[in-house]
Amino acid sequence: MSRAPTMPIRQQLSWRAIVLGVVLSVVLSAANAYLGLFAGLTVSASIPAAVLSLGILRFFADANVLENNIVQTAASAGESIAAGVIFTLPALVMLGYWTDFPYFQTVLIAGVGGLLGVIMTVPLRRALVDDSALAFPEGQATAAVLKAGYGETAAVGIGTLLAGAGLGAVAKLGASGLRLWQGTAEAVVSIGQNSSFYIGSYLSPALLAVGYIVGINIALPILIGGLFAWWVAIPAVMAFGGADLPSGVAGAQQVWSEQIRYLGVGAMLVGGLAALWTLRGQLFGAFKQTSSTVLPSEKDLPRALLIGLLVALAIPMSVLYSVLLDSVVGGVLVAFAMLGAAFLFSAVAAYMAGLVGSSNNPVSGVTIATILITALGLYLLFGAEQAGPASALIVGAVVCCAAAIGGDNMQDLKAGAILGASPAAQQIAQILGVIAAVCVLSPILSLLLNAYGMGVSDAAHPHALPAPQASLMVAVVRGVFQGGLPWAWVIGGGVLALATLALDAVLARRGGSFRMPVLAVALGLYLPLSLSVAIALGGLVAWLGGNRTAPEGRGLLAAAGIITGEALMGIFIALPVAFSGNSDVLALDIGGLPLIWPGALLMLGLGVWLWRLARETDRGASASG
């Protein structure tokens, strides 16, 4: 692909672009940390960051489009590194290795992973971005937003984004802070003496917005996985072996927690390995092209600098693993394994981002594969008495952060290639965004842990953030090192994944727009059904509004605003909760139990708003076509 002549790096990497990019990286990392712990999903921040950048930099007469591109490049790094962190590091707390999120260890692990994600994908840039037919949908959309410039469209866009943020914040304050209405609507239909069917939905605008953004092709498979787990597998277990189980919701949730969610473990493992196998030819082809010469305007960061950074990052991790395992040789071997896995899975994530976008990237699937393989290797080498579980989780955390940044990096470089940006300037912006985000994630995670709890709810934390991926990582390492992993359910999940892959292949041959991505189904098997239903409702809204693929226009910005507003309000609510030690510190005494209907009406109203915005975008696309 041709690249427009670029301007000097100093005009792209201006101080105002760097400062704004770093600030947005911090804000968006905090928002996505909360969202990921709550819903198990994160969404790309590139387009919201681009709109915010346009809205702010338009007040500077000499601002240029490549400065805005730098802002969104740095800002989106915060969202991506948050995904890598919250999918993995809370597992160290759930495992009991950490009691909180120690600042320097969190910064080291997340920072090494994020920087490896930048370094490892630099050699692949030309093959995957410049010389490839990969779509990189979010990169193209971001470039289109930035090309729109500083006219009225940008002002309308930022207004929509802020309106969504305000509505999302008010909804979160009413439900989780003031406790004016219930956060979940749920019911159980009993079948016979023991079995029951559970149905429920979180009354969360953020989940509705997540479903709107990922679309029906992701939201529906998540729901299908959830319905199989909660309407087929759980009732069957309760019917044939549930005599000692509590009745109703409690019994269904116990079966899910102790048995059925391991279907998701097996499905994610097989799905991650299948993604690797599918991409083997493209990845090897990309590696062969990395040594080609490029024009000065297309230069990446110098190779000598990258090698120096790689060595600098490997040394502290080798020391950390050596201390954990009480073995220098073992620590070095684990560090080398970490580097190899980070390179491989960063490449996989970069390629998958080109196919399906960053929001739909199966990062958690490849992370589970990494942790399981690492745990098995450590168990065989060191046995169960060493700190193998923590070491395996830290390897997975580094790889997950690297993969998340790798996919995001390529999306940003695609936008830059369309706009004529310097790859080196964007790679510097990525590094700055990673560093800014990892410096604030530790206190944010500590705040959320102390205020809400993570994983399983208890008396101290009755509204714990589910942290589904981190809980899954704990289950895997405990199963390897302590035994007791329900392998029958894990294998059953793998069989379901193979059946899903076969069904997806049939759908692909028929050429229809709907597919059955295996990792989306696996996530549905693992998530509480109430999350899957809320996400599916958002996907249905997008579909009814005419958005058959990725959403565009004001609907996308409204949904991104709703997510950001609810997530940031969740963090603000956590402050008085954490300081007081009382989860009901802000709750109002309204007499009796909180109602359901205010939250349901709010969800309905926001759904109608998103539907109208989707219809507006659909009509505009039809008119232009």
**Three-class secondary structure assignment of 41-85:** CCCCCHHHHHHHHHHHHCCCCCCCHHHHHHHHHHHHHHHHHHHHH
Looking at residue 512, its pLDDT comes to 74
> Could you tell me the end-to-end alpha-carbon distance of the chain, in angstroms, rounded to an integer?
25
Q: How far apart are CA 311 and CA 309, in angstroms?
A: 5
| Mean predicted confidence (pLDDT) in 167-190 | 85
Closest CA to 205 of 38, 451, 26: 38
Q: How far apart are CA 579 and CA 589, in angstroms?
A: 21
Asked if residue 160 lies in contact with residue 561, where contact means CB atoms within 8 angstroms, the answer is: yes
Of residues 580 and 413, more confidence is placed in 413
- Position 261 confidence tier, pLDDT thresholds 50, 70, 90: confident
pLDDT in tens, 74-109: 998 888 898 889 988 999 999 888 999 999 999 999
| Mean predicted confidence (pLDDT) in 250-269 | 80
Supply the DSSP string of 371-418, one letter for each residue.
HHHHHHHHHHHH-SSSSHHHHHHHHHHHHHHHHHHHHHHHHHHHHHHH
Q: Per mean pLDDT, which of 20-24, 158-162, 271-275 is the most reliable?
A: 20-24
Looking at residue 293, its pLDDT comes to 47
Q: How far apart are CA 140 and CA 419, in angstroms?
A: 10
Q: Position of tokens 């310097």?
A: 422
Q: Position of tokens 């319905």?
A: 227
Asked if residue 359 lies in contact with residue 213, where contact means CB atoms within 8 angstroms, the answer is: yes
Report strand pairing: 195-202 vs 184-191. Answer: antiparallel
Of residues 154 and 321, more confidence is placed in 321
Q: How far apart are CA 316 and CA 332, in angstroms?
A: 10
- Local structure of residue 141 (DSSP, 8 states): H
Asked if residue 17 lies in contact with residue 67, where contact means CB atoms within 8 angstroms, the answer is: yes
pLDDT in tens, 316-371: 999 988 888 888 888 898 898 889 888 877 877 777 677 655 655 667 766 777 78
Q: How far apart are CA 566 and CA 31, in angstroms?
A: 8
Count how many residues are written for the chain.
Answer: 625
pLDDT in tens, 580-622: 767 778 888 766 656 888 899 999 999 999 999 988 865 655 5
Q: How far apart are CA 408 and CA 127, in angstroms?
A: 16
**Would you give the distance in Å from CA 192 to the centre of its chain?**
40
Q: How far apart are CA 391 and CA 335, in angstroms?
A: 10
What would you report as the CA-atom Rg of the chain, rounded to the nearest whole angstrom?
Answer: 23
Q: Position of tokens 């427009």?
A: 4
Q: Position of tokens 């979940």?
A: 184
Looking at residue 291, its pLDDT comes to 46
pLDDT surpasses 60 at 140: yes
Sign of the Cα torsion 442, 443, 446, 447 reads negative
pLDDT surpasses 60 at 294: no
| Mean predicted confidence (pLDDT) in 519-548 | 86
The two structure tokens encoding residue 144: 């289109």
Q: How far apart are CA 416 and CA 418, in angstroms?
A: 5
Q: How far apart are CA 53 and CA 110, in angstroms?
A: 26
Closest CA to 351 of 341, 363, 340: 363
The two structure tokens encoding residue 205: 């605008």
Is residue 65 packed enough to be buried (19+ CB in 10 Å), middle (13-18) or exposed (0-12)? buried
The dihedrals phi and psi of 326, each to the nearest 5 degrees, come to 55, 40
pLDDT surpasses 90 at 428: yes
Percent of residues, the chain, with pLDDT higher than 90: 22
Q: Position of tokens 């024009």?
A: 295
Question: Which residues fall within 8 angstroms of residue 506, CB to CB, at 6 or more apart?
Answer: none
Q: How far apart are CA 214 and CA 356, in angstroms?
A: 10
Of residues 283 and 73, more confidence is placed in 73
Looking at residue 503, its pLDDT comes to 93
Looking at residue 442, its pLDDT comes to 94
Q: Which helix (H) or strand (E) covers residue 420, if one does?
A: none
Supply the DSSP string of 539-583, one letter for each residue.
HHHHHHTT--SS--HHHHHHHHHHHHHHHHHHHHHHHHHHHHT-T
